[in-house]
Amino acid sequence: MPARRPRTALTLLRAATLAACGSDKPSLDQIAHNCAKAVEARTEGDKTRPAACNGLSDDDYTALLASKAMDDLGWLDDNGDFDPNRMLSDVQETP
């Protein structure tokens, strides 16, 4: 299955993009997209915040990481939205 970028966090950031001013600065959506790519490119176990994420607030960065984790666990549907049934099916499976 091809890797998907964390869309849930990006969706949360799109509203903030409307408030961004100036054409010389990247929009929050662009920063979030670049941040998601940088997070994906980190080596396994690396928890440092990539420089590409510097334009995001701590809350937005945390939301991006949470979205990535939910995506990695298979808890997001094809639209990138959280699917509680997928989460519950993981919890209810017996080893």
Q: Could you tell me which residues are beta bridge partners of residue 82?
A: 76
Are the C-beta atoms of residues 4 and 78 closer than 8 Å to each other?
no
Instruction: Determine the pLDDT at residue 58.
Output: 96
Residue 79 has pLDDT above 50, yes or no: yes
When mean pLDDT is compared across 27-36, 59-68, 75-84, the lowest value belongs to: 75-84
Cα distances from 52 to residues 9, 32, 44, 61, 81, in angstroms, run 15, 8, 18, 11, 24
Closest among 22, 20, 21, 24 to 60, alpha carbons compared: 20
The number of residues making up the chain comes to 95
What percentage of the chain reaches a pLDDT higher than 70? 73
What are the residue boundaries of the structural domains of the chain, listed by start? 7-92
